[in-house]
Amino acid sequence: MRLKAIAATVLVAGLGVGIAIAAEDGTHDARAALMKKIGGATGAMAAMAKGEKPFDAEVVKASLTTISETAKVFPDQFKPGTEKGDKAASPKIWEDPADFKARAMKLSEDAGKILATPPTDVATLGAAMKTLGANCGGCHEKFRIKTD
């Protein structure tokens, strides 16, 4: 049972990495692929927190690892010279790169800290998700443009 869960998570993570590697660095597709990985990991944990799926500590750890590692490398997709071509990336990213990077690092570090003493049940998982989730809105508010 656990082996299946681990295998499934690794497969999904691998797919995500595959997509990320396939898209060229610094493009909308590469950036979006990384964010979708974070979204997928968040979703896996949310399903357990909401009681839609049974609590599985291994999936939780894999998700937290994904978030921690992906957030850490996310700013690398926004090096100088990549300002154009992505309508969803606000110019503010290159006007205030310190804040942009700090927010990505904070998400990464928050996930890492939780991983050090991982949640053991639905209640602790819910609390962990609140901590992580608090990071999303602030960065999106400032640095992401809604295209349609």
The residues in 68-87 that bind other proteins, with binding defined as CB under 8 A, are 87
Structure-token match 């896996």, residue found: 44
In the chain, the N- to C-terminal Cα span, in Å, equals 41
10 binds other proteins (CB under 8 A): no
Q: How many residues does the chain have?
A: 148
Of the pair 117, 137, the CB lying nearest other proteins is at: 137
52 binds other proteins (CB under 8 A): no
Q: Cα angle at 40 between 28 and 45, to 5 degrees?
A: 150
Q: Could you tell me the smallest distance in angstroms from the CB atom of residue 48 to other proteins?
A: 13
35 binds other proteins (CB under 8 A): yes
Q: Could you tell me the smallest distance in angstroms from the CB atom of residue 136 to other proteins?
A: 4
138 binds other proteins (CB under 8 A): yes
42 binds other proteins (CB under 8 A): yes
Q: Cα angle at 36 between 109 and 1, to 5 degrees?
A: 85
Element (H, E) at 67: helix 57-73
| Backbone phi, psi, residue 89, to 5° | -95, 115
117 binds other proteins (CB under 8 A): no
Provide the binding-site residues for other proteins, judged by CB under 8 A: 35-36, 38-40, 42-43, 46, 87-88, 90, 133, 136-138, 140-141, 143-148
